[in-house]
Amino acid sequence: MFLKNTWYVAGWLTEFEVGDLAGRTIAGEPVVFFRKQDGKLTALPDRCPHRWAPLSKGRLEGDELRCMYHGVKFDAEGNCVEVPAQEKFSPQLCLQPYPVVERHQWAWIWMGEPALADPSTIPDCSYLDDPARRFKTGQLDYEAHHALISDNLLDLSHVGFLHEKTLAAPPEGEPEDKKTGQSAGGSAGKRIETGVRYENWRVGDFGRAVIQAKAGGTGDVWSRLDYVVPGVFISRVATYPAGTAEQCNFGTPPADVEPLSDNISCQAVTPMTERSTRYFFSSGPRKVDVTDEEAEGMWAVASAAFDEDLDMIEAQQGIIDHHPGERMAWIDADKGPAMFRQLMADLMRKEGTPVEVFPPSRSPGVTAARPDMVEAAE
Ligand code: FES
Ligand SMILES: [Fe+2]
Cα three-residue angle 205-307-262, rounded to 5 degrees: 35
Instruction: Tell me, letter by letter, the H, E, C secondary structure of 330-361.
Output: CCHHHHHHHHHHHHHHHHHHHHCCCCCCCCCC
Average pLDDT, rounded, for the chain: 89
For the chain, the domains span 7-121, 127-322, 332-377
pLDDT of residue 173: 57
pLDDT of residue 326: 78
| Ligand at shortest distance from the CA of 155 | 2
- Residue 346: which of 284, 226, 338 has the closest Cα? 338
pLDDT of 9 higher than 60: yes
Atom index in ligand 1 nearest the CA of residue 71 equals: 3
Q: What is the pLDDT of residues 39-78, one digit of tens each?
A: 999 999 999 999 999 999 999 999 999 999 999 999 999 9
Lowest mean pLDDT among 72-76, 211-215, 247-251: 211-215
Lowest mean pLDDT among 8-22, 120-134, 353-367: 353-367
Q: What is the pLDDT of residues 98-148, one digit of tens each?
A: 999 999 999 999 999 999 999 999 999 999 999 999 999 999 999 999 999
CB proximity list for 350: less than 8 A, separation 6 or greater: none
Is residue 318 within 8 Å of residue 311, measured between CB atoms? no
What's the 54 CA to ligand 1 centre distance in angstroms?
8
pLDDT of 296 higher than 90: yes
pLDDT of residue 209: 57
Name the residue with higher pLDDT: 251 or 211: 251
Q: Does 70 contact ligand 1 (Cβ within 6 A)?
A: yes
pLDDT of residue 365: 38
pLDDT band at 229 (very low <50, low <70, confident <90, very high): very high
**% of the chain residues with pLDDT over 90:** 74
Name the residue with higher pLDDT: 79 or 207: 79
Q: What is the pLDDT of residues 156-210, one digit of tens each?
A: 899 999 999 998 887 665 554 444 455 654 557 899 999 999 999 988 876 665 5
**DSSP sequence for 162-209:** HTTTTTTSPPTT--GGGS--EEES--S-EEETTEEEEEEEEEEE---H
CATH class, domain 7-121, is: mainly beta
Q: Does 55 contact ligand 1 (Cβ within 6 A)?
A: no
Q: What is the pLDDT of residues 321-349, one digit of tens each?
A: 998 777 788 888 889 999 999 999 999 99
Select from 67, 73, 95 the residue to mutate for testing ligand 1; criterion: most ligand atoms less than 8 Å from CB.
67
Q: Is the pTM of this model over 0.85?
A: yes
pLDDT of 286 higher than 70: yes
Cross-strand bridge partners of residue 265: 235
Name the residue with higher pLDDT: 356 or 37: 37
pLDDT band at 213 (very low <50, low <70, confident <90, very high): low
CATH number of 127-322: 3.90.380.10
Name the residue with higher pLDDT: 243 or 111: 111
Q: Does 275 contact ligand 1 (Cβ within 6 A)?
A: no
Name the residue with higher pLDDT: 92 or 315: 315
Average pLDDT over every residue of 213-230? 87
Is residue 205 within 8 Å of residue 218, measured between CB atoms? yes
pLDDT of residue 215: 65
pLDDT of 240 higher than 70: yes
